[in-house]
Amino acid sequence: MHTHWRDCKAWKDYGTPVNTTSNEAAKMFDASLTQYVGWYDDMSVGGIEKSLENTLKADPDFVMGHVIKNGLDLLGTGTNVRLNADLATDIATMVKMGTSQQGLSDREKKHVNAVKLWSEGNMALACDEWENILMDNPYDILALKFAHDTYFYLGFSRPMRDSLGRVFPQWKEDKPLYGYLHGMYSFGLEETNLYEQAEKIASKGLELNPRDAWSTHSMAHVLEMMGRQDEGMKFMSGTEKDWQTCGMLSCHNYWHWALILIEKGDFSGALGIYDNHVYKSAQTSGAQVEGRWEDCYEVIRPHMDDHVLTFNDNHILMACLGANNQAAVEQMMTSILDWVASSTGDQSNITKEIGLVSCRAFVAYRAGDCAQAVELMYPVRYLIWKIGGSHAQRDLYNLFLINAALKSNKPEHHRLAKLLLMERKSVKPCSPMTDRLMQRALAIHAD
């Protein structure tokens, strides 16, 4: 927890002066930024929502206060300017301030433009703008974190890694928030399969700050991808007390814990994680999840028309299918089709290319037409990265294709399932789940 937030002079001394004369606004901006980077709520300032509110309460004309608030509203992916008139107004107000206020730095104007671009669906262009900021201001961690999260949404693993790789060597340990760079950098390294380097960086991050939930998250990814399930279980249980209060990322870390249990075949343990810590369900290859899908559906129901991320739409549809709510499935598919017919931007393009195909494959599978599911998903399997997310999250699509091939009524799909499992084994040799699926394939399709 922090007790001393940066005032106007401290921001100037740091090298990224802010366009406010209110020390309180500058301090609450720091509090909001710190909580965002660390993925936690600091209750000494009322949590991140309260500190964001107090930033603009102290100075309603503080452009960077508007930038961080609007940026977080957008990157939270729970709303958008198309459906949220208040957010659209807030963005317009920010843009007007960015063009009319005297004394704004070029860096601050670029921040305004990046958030505007994001709100219009141009996420990759927003990242370009944040990278332009970082070329001259490598200590601007807001630009770094906004870019990092957006690269994740776009599936841009190498840019996510290299964005940190360019600035990390320029930072010194005495810089505020330095420790948090380790978790971010480690995740980029892990997502580009540099597991040993990722583990080393994440370990250093946890050494500097045991409460860094992002370093914990990166380490969990490394241990999963390297097939070190027992070590992963020990690590998660040993660090739980440090990250269990870290809001959304705490929930996500519990999800990783559940993945390790699923990999080991402990479905009841994984469902225990769901029941006790996560209000959303994981599809668990054979585990009974009846009743939980309805909970998932109730969570996603207000967001069926959002269409912020293709990744989100895929998972919203899964909840509709899991709850066996045919009306909701039809509503969701119609909503997606209507949206892509009238929209532009990165996510619209991804949905047109990949998202609709995967949605149709899920619908076919649920209807019992597993052959159709395979024929839809197999041709795009090497494009799934465009949906975004991590290796661990996108593994769902690999497992879906394998299970659809196993259940298909076409013999050639049975052979495909075996080949996909051999491929999976060659990439991740220590995977009990792959071994179980291989045994199932051999038992069901002995040909």
The enclosing domain of 148 has a CATH number of 1.25.40
Determine what percent of the chain is predicted with pLDDT higher than 90.
77
Q: Is residue 404 part of a domain?
A: yes
Report the pLDDT averaged over residues 176-195: 95
Predicted local distance difference test score (pLDDT) of residue 279? 59
Q: What is the pLDDT of residues 46-55, one digit of tens each?
A: 999 999 999 9
* Six-digit token string for 200: 């080393």
Q: What's the rounded Cα separation, in Å, for the pair 118 and 263?
A: 36
Q: What's the rounded Cα separation, in Å, for the pair 447 and 441?
A: 10
Q: Is residue 401 part of a domain?
A: yes
Q: Is residue 257 part of a domain?
A: no
Q: Is residue 210 part of a domain?
A: no
Q: Is residue 227 part of a domain?
A: no
Q: What is the pLDDT of residues 157-168, one digit of tens each?
A: 999 999 999 999
> Given 123, 156, 189, which residue is the final one in a domain?
156
Mean pLDDT over all residues of the chain? 92
Does the structure show a pLDDT above 50 at 317?
yes
Q: What is the pLDDT of residues 365-409, one digit of tens each?
A: 999 999 999 999 999 999 999 999 999 899 999 999 999 999 999
Q: What is the pLDDT of residues 262-284, one digit of tens each?
A: 988 999 998 888 888 875 433 44
Q: What is the pLDDT of residues 214-253, one digit of tens each?
A: 899 899 989 888 889 899 889 988 888 887 777 767 888 8
Total domains, the chain = 2
Q: Is residue 432 part of a domain?
A: yes
> Given 123, 141, 156, which residue is the final one in a domain?
156
Instruction: Lowest mean pLDDT of 43-47, 70-74, 128-132, 329-333, name the range.
Output: 43-47
The domain of 83 spans 1-156
Q: Is residue 185 part of a domain?
A: no
User: 41 with 48: CB under 8 angstroms?
Assistant: yes
> Given 156, 175, 190, which residue is the final one in a domain?
156
Q: Is residue 260 part of a domain?
A: no
Residue with tokens 């045994």: 439
pTM of the model: 0.94
Q: What's the rounded Cα separation, in Å, for the pair 378 and 416?
A: 10
